[in-house]
A and B are shown apart, each in its own frame.
Chain A
């Protein structure tokens, strides 16, 4: 395996190498009739091979952006490009799940896949059944292939939509809220599937309002708020902007604070039953040993890594719909 190369030092929004980007938008803006600005001068770059989390509360312009990328709605200003190709040539290489599944209720799952495949002028009608079979197998719907879509559960519908996105060899997968409405089991399945797909080299652009989900799946993230991109970068660079802290649970908060300060830790804060401080370059086990050695009763000690939520709160001063 190769070495870590996460652009960790890059500032937010830094442009990755220009060649081969999966998605590039420049000043992308959508103003709906009535003046409401859904997306405001969006400059987004999604590098190839990344799993990009497109994060933001409901109504922050994520779906509008995705619709503009796919050519479903026209931008008021700005431009977007996928895979460095004109839209009509890029789309056959892009699998998309936009705002939930939509299929013909009176057709079976398989017949639905055949239907949408027929709309792709580059798809080969002679191989479509084999491709549909593989796609259904991949999302675990083989047994329900002949069942009418009407009878599918919400989780099955969502999986069929992902199967439809996997009908061809895709270079980019755009998944808009792929776990919406799924139970925890279904959510985990989708997450595993996304990771598998990404491991095959497909770039995945996944929108979500769930921070935890993005943190678990993605290598990169962009955070949207009211139509604007407020942060943009690798997960490491995003959460690297905040310091890792050590948290000590102890009844002797005053003593603990003194010891931590003595060790040279910055920003020591004492609470009722705990003391936290920036860990800096210190090893947590050494901190623990020192505390115990100086007679501080340590009930627990943990390392708190900054989460995307902290980043979000830090950037916007707003709360976030964590579990939506």
Chain B
């Protein structure tokens, strides 16, 4: 096989001639047609007509271009916007309900965080995050990340992306970056909505933390930011798991459902006391770790353990996804 590189079309002319004759051809089963062979003529490829493509480095950031296209798909897709809308609505409902039931609801299972929410506008954000990280935010992230590869495969668009050529590793990296950014968006939407609702419904001012100390409101906002970063990382870890599952199927609903089953099963395992030793290895265990920011000083030990667990999940899942996806036959 001739693998020597050569300028585009440089040698092509040598292999070709043209045809001039017009002849009668008979198509099977049809009347004879007179057809000019000119129409099926072979022309020499002129080097000028096909300029050599510039090398990939010649383009600025092809990775970012694909990522931007990916983000455009994700954030314009009605389904995803509806999910973000629902997530923004939940803190509103939580705030209104808490405000309505007032202090007498404070003795429920939520304990300190719930009582604290009634006393300060910023606490609703933490309360909303702790409620939504259990299921609703993971669902939204699973839908986007589980759909990432399986959805393209199911629709057949995967073969055209790869023939473009997107490159399997690059496509996987873009898909993960997209899902991670969607995780950030999901967390930010919840936090922002809760913050606005909190400021409207509850008293603003210095924040009293779970440990009893009081910090200025500005520092409270910084701690919200830290919590948002932490929860985003936790959701990104889930996105990596969903992405890995997404490389195993051509049915997006399969990957999404598998991720959700995984979440629910681990949540169930966590409440069985005899299985406590499993806790540190389960992803959902760490999602609520952001309440470390509500201690004085900030419980960095818990936060960093959580982040480490997230990183471990991301590395492991992406390795599986990469191994599976780069070796996979795309038959869809």
Contacts and interface: CB of A to CB of B under 8 A. Distances in A.
Interface of A: 1-6, 16-21, 24, 26, 47-51, 67, 70-74, 79, 81, 83-85, 87-88, 91-94, 96, 98-100, 102-107, 114-125, 164, 168-169, 171, 195, 198-201, 211-212, 215-219, 302-305, 307-309, 322-323
B56 A115 contact: no
Contact of A92 (B2, B53, B161): B53
B308 to A, nearest CB: 34
B165 A212 contact: no
Interface in B56-94: 56, 58-59, 62, 65-66, 68-69, 73, 77-78
Contact of B29 (A104, A195, A322): A322
6 contacts: A20-B15, A67-B329, A70-B162, A79-B1, A118-B68, A119-B164
Nearest to B51: A169
A26 B1 contact: yes
A226 to B, nearest CB: 19
Contact of A19 (B11, B19, B30): B11
B156 to A, nearest CB: 3
A211 B15 contact: no
B32 to A, nearest CB: 7
Interface in B174-211: none
Contact of B9 (A73, A171, A219, A323): A171
A322 B18 CA distance: 29
B42 A50 contact: yes
B53 A102 contact: no
Given A49-B45, A84-B2, 4 more contacts: A100-B156, A118-B66, A119-B161, A121-B56
A53 to B, nearest CB: 10
Interface stretch (B33-41, B116-124, B132-140, B216-224): B33-41
Contact of A49 (B15, B58, B160, B327): B15
B99 interface: no
B331 A73 contact: yes
List 9 A-B pairs, minimum CB-CB distance, nearest first.
Answer: A102-B156, A5-B17, A121-B62, A118-B69, A119-B164, A119-B166, A20-B11, A48-B12, A91-B165
